[in-house]
Amino acid sequence: MRRATLAVPAALALFAATACGAPSENASAEANGEDTLVVGATAVPAGDILEFIEAELAADAGLDLEIHEYSDYIAPNAALAEGQLDVNLYQHEPFLLEYNEGNGTDLVAVEQIYLPPLGLYSNVVDDTDDLEEGAEVALPNDPTNEFRALLLLEEGGLITLAEGIDESAFSLDDIEENPLDLRFRQVEAAQLPRSLDDVDAAIVNNNYAQEAGLDFEEDSILLEGFEGNPYVNVLAARADNTDDPRIATLVELLTSPETVQFIEEEYQGSVIPATAG
């Protein structure tokens, strides 16, 4: 297996179309041979899941994977759009659609794979009931995940949002009720675990929580549920390569009983296979 880590500066703007490497269309296939499927992913859990597939399942399925890991949420889509990747695995469909809208790209969700529940974490309190008036809560600063974070706070009874708002047009002013007068700090998603030392609680994306060693059972004080959740992570491709048989094979492996069992045993409920829903 060829697995490369691509570190990207955290200061990238949300919809900056910065690419990693040469921008030629379908460069991945040209450089690596048409039998190699080049996949972009964040390290946890997507990179781990893909590594399991490469080690245990891919050879028998006749699939050769090349895995590129990224440390942010923008570069994997830029690389996919420009042909440096064949597919990527790390994002939910609302984020993908917002990226398309902001960048004029035509990326497509091929299949739902797993839900990494968004969580509210704290180094200060052990329960949402223990949050004091005026407590400061850090939120992801990209629009899709910030809206998702607000929905989690509403689900936990901490705030009430105005009716009829959605992630395409909202602001913190759309919080109608805030009984604890919570204060909010918007933070780049990768930096949210570090912010726990500076705020009372932070809503952290699952992959960054796991990379930081946060335990979803011991450290979280509020977690998303699966039922009806639109934020299931998807395998994404370009509109022009969705019929690639190698992608179909990867989908079969990602949703196979072996991979589902790996996810359930490895993550113990902190990552939920889409088939469980």
159, two tokens: 């705030």
Region 238-256: what's the mean pLDDT? 98
Give Cα separations from 14 to 78, 98, 141 (angstroms). Answer: 11, 10, 9
Region 16-37: what's the mean pLDDT? 47
Radius of gyration of the chain (CA): 19
> What are the tens digits of pLDDT across the range 93-145?
999 999 999 999 999 999 999 999 999 999 999 999 999 999 999 999 999 89
For residues 130 and 34, give the distance between their C-alpha atoms in angstroms, rounded to a whole number. 56
* Sheet containing strand 119-121, strands side by side: 183-187, 136-140, 201-204, 119-121, 220-223
For residues 126 and 6, give the distance between their C-alpha atoms in angstroms, rounded to a whole number. 35
> What are the tens digits of pLDDT across the range 194-223?
999 999 999 999 989 999 999 888 889 999
Is residue 153 scored above 60 in pLDDT? yes
> What are the tens digits of pLDDT across the range 50-64?
999 999 999 999 999
For residues 248 and 115, give the distance between their C-alpha atoms in angstroms, rounded to a whole number. 20
Region 230-256: what's the mean pLDDT? 97
Region 26-37: what's the mean pLDDT? 57
Domains of the chain: 2-117+229-276 (3.40.190.10), 119-223 (3.40.190.10)
